Amino acid sequence: MDKATKYYKKALTKYHNGHIDQAIDLCGASVAENNKYKAAASLKGILFYFKGDLENARQLWDFNVRVNKDVVSKKYIENTRFDDKFLPIYASAIALINELKIGEALTALKECEESDFNVINVSNHIAVCLIKQGEFEKAKEYLDKVITIDIKNKMALDNIKMLKKYRIIESKFSYTPLVICLVIVLILGSGLGIYFSRGKKVATVPPVVAVKPKEKSEAIAKPIPLAEVFPYDTVKTSIATANYDELDKQYNLWKSKSVDDKGKVLLENALVLIKDKGLKVFYDKAQNYLTQKDYNNAFVYYYKVYSYGHVDYLYESALYALGNSKEKLGNTEEALKYYEEYSAAFPNGSYEATVLYALANLYSKTDINKAKVCAKILLKNFPKSDYNNNVMKALLSK
């Protein structure tokens, strides 16, 4: 294993364990060893993005686009075009917290949540607002999010320590008045006096409403579908072990579903790894199956390469091979579909003469006019090709 790959894999491990700063350093070491290692530069940019350093994140992605023609980094840059607006919103939220305008601050911070940019700082200050509002369990969720990304984050650790000290996050329903008052005193300071000087609102008891008993048919509980759980460990392990088949499976399974921030990052890392290394692995597997005349499995792996779009030099070959595999399997309709797609996408491509010859022969059995069109294009564009033979001339004479 070369040093660049070794550093990158260590960076992924550190990131997955919440050591964001060490992950950044290791990504830097990977790029220093090999500036063509686009996955490391891309990940380093993501980590700066989470820390709120938009300038450095963009510089890394821009470097990846210029040096490595990395389409993933280009997409990241495009997706950040609206993130600049969140910086003044975040700054105003901090000012509002200092002025004890907690509700307004929380509204501003929630707006910042529309993006994953600056997620560590935004989540930390949302937690502060929720603590000040007495929403301790919700605050813990945001603190957990921070610790997941940055396990040594001082602000999050201090707030967790404070909540544990007063036994707030250990028992969901045991908030005694004394404990709550102690926490409010610690958080609000002199603001507490202002709150009580305005007087308390007396809670009213809602009227008792008679409930009509349900009939038997209504009382039967409907089964509740189990919520899908994102396979964090599976994806992490697959990234660490370069299990591209599993990464491809999980990425396609989850890419269109609702996933939390941690899951999104894992999926992005999976996608980067698949495009960087996996497509070549899939293509090689397809070629091996083709050699063995196992056209079904060959098609499966060619399709994996094709499915990620025109982001790799292998895409053209994979698209041609999809048509060829279907032709070998006797599926004329599917073969024609992929051959037509190839001819439209690569009219001057390496396989165009072969594709036109195949199209002419296949269409000769179902649509002679289309067959003649393909044959004419073949003879015109590739007059010196071996495909300019008696078969095509005979077809045109019909």
Give the tens place of pLDDT for each residue, 329-388.
999 999 999 999 999 999 888 899 999 999 999 999 989 999 999 999 998 888 888 887
Work out the number of other CB atoms within 10 angstroms of the CB of residue 290: 19
Cα(40)–Cα(10) distance, integer angstroms: 11
Q: How confident is the model at residue 26 (pLDDT cuts 50, 70, 90)?
A: very high
> Which pTM does this prediction carry?
0.47
What does the CA dihedral 115, 270, 240, 8 come to, rounded to 10 degrees?
-70
pLDDT value of position 79: 86
What is the pLDDT, as a whole number, of residue 268? 87
Contact criterion met (CB below 8 Å) for 273 and 261? no
334/338 Cα distance (integer angstroms): 6
The token pair at 202 is: 């007396």
CATH 1.25.40.10 residue window(s) in the chain: 3-81, 232-396
Q: Rounded CA gap, 294 and 363, in Å?
A: 25
pLDDT of the residue at 387: 85
Tokens matching residue 346: 């690569």
Integer Cα distance of 176 and 178 in angstroms: 5
Least confident of 52-61, 94-103, 205-214: 205-214
Q: Is the Cα dihedral 390, 395, 396, 398 positive or negative?
A: positive
- For residue 91, give the amino acid letter: A
Tokens of residue 288, six digits = 């091996």
Tokens 């001819």 correspond to what residue? 343
Task: Please give the mean pLDDT across all residues of the chain.
Answer: 83
Q: Is the pLDDT of residue 210 over 90?
A: no
Which pLDDT does position 169 carry in this prediction? 59
Give yes or no for a contact between 60 and 42, defined as CB atoms under 8 angstroms apart.
yes
Q: What distance in Å separates the CA atoms of residue 36 and residue 2, rounded to the nearest whole number?
A: 13
DSSP label at 221? P
CB burial of residue 143 (10 Å; 0-12, 13-18, 19+): buried
Copy the structure tokens of residue 267: 């999926």
Q: Can you tell me whether residue 211 is helix, strand or coil?
A: coil
Local structure of 180: helix, strand or coil: helix
**pLDDT band, very low/low/confident/very high, at 175 (cuts 50, 70, 90):** very low
What tokens were used for 270? 């999976």
The pLDDT of residue 265: 83
| Cα gap 40→34, rounded to integer Å | 9
> What b/e sequence results for 378-396 when a residue is b if at least 16 CB atoms lie within 10 Å of its CB, and e otherwise?
bbeebeebebbeeebeebe
Q: Please give the Cα distance from 57 to 41 (Å, whole number).
A: 9
pLDDT of residue 326 exceeding 70:
yes
How far is the CA of 48 from the CAs of 24, 43, 58, 154, 256, in angstroms? Answer: 8, 9, 9, 18, 25
Q: Quick one: fold of 85-197?
A: 1.25.40
pLDDT in tens, 297-321: 999 999 999 999 887 778 999 999 9
The predicted pLDDT at position 150 comes to 95
Burial state string for 252-287 with b = 16 or more CB within 10 A and e = fewer than 16:
eebeeeeeeeebebbbbbbbbbbbbebbebbbebbe
Is there a contact between 58 and 80 (Cβ–Cβ < 8 Å)? yes
Segment 28-38 shows an average pLDDT of 89
Is the predicted pLDDT of residue 107 greater than 60, yes or no? yes
Q: Write the CATH number of the domain with boundaries 3-81.
A: 1.25.40.10
Sign of the CA dihedral with 345 first, then 328, 379, and 395 last: negative
* Alpha helices, H only, 69-135: 71-79, 86-98, 102-112, 119-132
Distance CA 182, CA 280 (A): 60
Is it the case that residue 208 has pLDDT exceeding 70? no
Which class is 232-396 in CATH?
mainly alpha
- In this structure, the dihedral spanned by the alpha carbons of residues 145, 150, 152 and 153, taken in order and rounded to 10 degrees, is -70
What does the pLDDT read at residue 218? 41
Pair 382, 388: CB distance under 8 Å: yes
Q: How far apart are the first and last CA of the chain?
A: 60
